[in-house]
Every structure is written in C-alpha cells, then in structure tokens.
Amino acid sequence: MHHEFGDTALTSVAANVTAAQERLVFADRNIGMARELSAQAVSGRQSGLVDAVRAAESALGQARSLLDAVDNAAGDIRHAVAELPSVLADVEAGIKQADEQLQKMPGNTSAHTRELVAARDAAAQALEESRDTGGAGVSDPLGTFARVSKAGADLDRLLTTVAQEQANAERLNRSFEQALFTAESRVRAVSDYIDTRRGSIGPEARTRLAEAKRQLHAARDKRSTNITEAVGHANAASSLAANAQALANADVQAAQRAYTQQGGDNAGAILGGIIIGNLLSGGLRGGFGGWSPTSFGGSSSSSGGSSGGGFMGGGGRF
C-alpha cells in the first residue's frame, strides 16, 4: 500500500502491521507460557494458565483487527479514488449553479445569500486544492474525497435554501402584482364612477376613495423595501375602494329616487353634476322655470365651490 498511496492517506493504519506483529509476539509468548503451565500439574497454578490463554486470545484478536483495518482502509481509499472524479464534477457543477443563482439576485444581501457566497468560495478552494500540482488527490484520496464532498454538500444545502427563498420571493411578488392590479382597477373604477356622478356622491364615499388612493400609493412605495407590507397596503386599498363604491352606489340610488319623484329630463345631467339645481327640503325650488346650468363637466376637483361635487341649493347640500 505504501507503493500505491502516500503516507498521508495511510496515517490511520500506517503502524497497524507493526502493531499486529507485536500482538503476535505477545500471543506467542503467552501460548508458550500456557503450554508450560499445562504440563505442570501443580495445584493452585491453574489461574495462571487461564490468564495466559486469555491474553494470547486477546492479542490474536487485536492482531486480526489491526490487519483487517488495513484491508478496510485500502478498500475505502480505492473507492475514494474511483469516486473522486464524479464528486469533483458535481462540485464544479454546484459552483456554476451558485454563480448563476447569485447573478440573478445581485442586490440580495440576505444572510443565506452571504452564506451561499462563502460556501461557493469554500467549494472552489476545495476543488482547487484537489487538483493542486502537489498531488493532494493522489497522496490522500480519502481526505480529499472527504473535504470536497463536504464542501459540495454544504453548497448544495445552501443552493436549495436560496432557491426556495427565491421561489417564495417570486410567489410573493406575483401575489403583490395581483393585489396591486385588483386595487388599481377598483380605485380606477370607483374614481370614474364618482367623477361622472359627482352631483350625487356624498363625503363618505369620497373619503374612502381618498384613503384607498393613499393605501395604493403606500403599496407602490413599499414594493422595493418590504413587499409583504406592500401586499397589505394593496389589499387595504382594494377593500377601501370596494367600500367607497358601495357608498357611492347608495348615494346615487338615493339621488335617483329623489329626482325621479320630481320628474323632468335632466336627472342624468344633475346626477353627473353638469346641472346643479337648488333643492329645498328634497324638492325643486322656484327660479327661472326650473334647473339652471351652473356647472359643466370635468372632475370634482375642478368644480369650484361646489362643496365636493354635491348638489347645493338654498336649502343646503343634498
């Protein structure tokens, strides 16, 4: 074996043959003593005979174990030599995968990402040492196999962890996109609804809409720093927008009932805030023969002193 492997590879069994020979000498000496004692039928010396026999047996057993250890080491080293190229290839592939994974998330500074960088560097170092011109892989195949396989296992573990984190982050990002789309569509819909019916929408619906817009703005701001909070803000915006829509619907229905009772063909324009008439105690008040066009189109913010787009008259806001 010394001709086949270096001294480093045989450290654990280098002295085994010498030690086995010593055990054999010890066993042979005790066997001789046992023979002498067995030939003498002297009363009281049987215990010495038993001790000699047992010592010889123990020494022979240890000699056998020492030689078996040499055989086992030889088998293990040869196995390491045979498997080492495959292990090196796996580690090299892991290093490449780590490089690709890290390139996908250049701004990620999480603890696991830093650990992945360290594991990749350690694996690269183990790989380099195994191919050192000094012949580390030849002089100590078993030790090289152990170091490289451990570095590869550590790298694989962190690759799995980081890949799972990345998958979770991607799912969370998709959840945010979905929540943001829902919130934006609801806020846009209720904004359009209120803008085209501002003559009949009360302050509660407008307040909910304003709160929804603030939550939507917060969701966009938080996306890059805390996407979990961003999802929460987007969902809150969606709920507030839905609440604003329900309140706006109720306001419009109430206004429609009031205008329907009065009759006339201008109900749509009045609801939209195009025509603002004077209401007194829920009814039409006199004037120039009916409704007067005092406001025209545009958003509620451009309606001047129309008090938030509601109907104003001598009797107050409807």
Name 219's Cβ contacts closer than 8 Å, sequence gap at least 6.
176, 179, 180, 183, 230, 231, 233, 234, 237
Of 216 and 40, the one with more pLDDT: 216
- Mean pLDDT of all residues in 216-226: 94
Closest CA to 237 of 276, 287, 298, 181: 181
90 and 152 in contact (C-beta within 8 Å)? yes
Task: Give me the pLDDT at residue 82, please.
Answer: 87
Q: What's the token pair of residue 105?
A: 């998330």
* Torsion of Cα atoms, 311 then 315 then 316 then 318, to 10°: -40
Question: Residues 6 or more apart from 114 whose CB is under 8 A from it?
Answer: none
- pLDDT for 180 equals 97
User: 307 or 273: whose pLDDT is higher?
Assistant: 273
Question: Which of helix, strand or coil describes residue 279?
Answer: strand
- Of 126, 259, 114, 110, the C-alpha closest to 199 is 259
Residue 151: pLDDT above 80? yes
**Listed residue (231, 175, 195, 225) closest to 309, CA to CA:** 195
Give the residue from 204, 112, 103, 99 showing the smallest Cα distance to 158.
Answer: 112
What are the φ/ψ torsions at residue 317 (nearest 5 degrees)? -85, 135
Residue 39 half-sphere exposure toward CB, CA atoms < 13 A: 6
Tens digit of pLDDT for each residue in 300-310?
A: 443 333 334 44
**97 residue type, one letter:** Q
Banded model confidence at residue 58, pLDDT cuts 50, 70, 90: very high
Mean pLDDT across the stretch 108-116? Answer: 81
Residue 289 has pLDDT above 90, yes or no: no
Lowest-pLDDT range, 45-49, 67-71, 269-273, 287-291? 287-291
pLDDT tens-digit readout, 74-92 = 888 888 888 889 999 999 9
Contact between 190 and 216 (Cβ < 8 Å): no
* Statement: residue 312 has pLDDT above 50: no
Mean pLDDT for 281-305 is 38
pLDDT band, residue 260 (cuts 50/70/90): confident
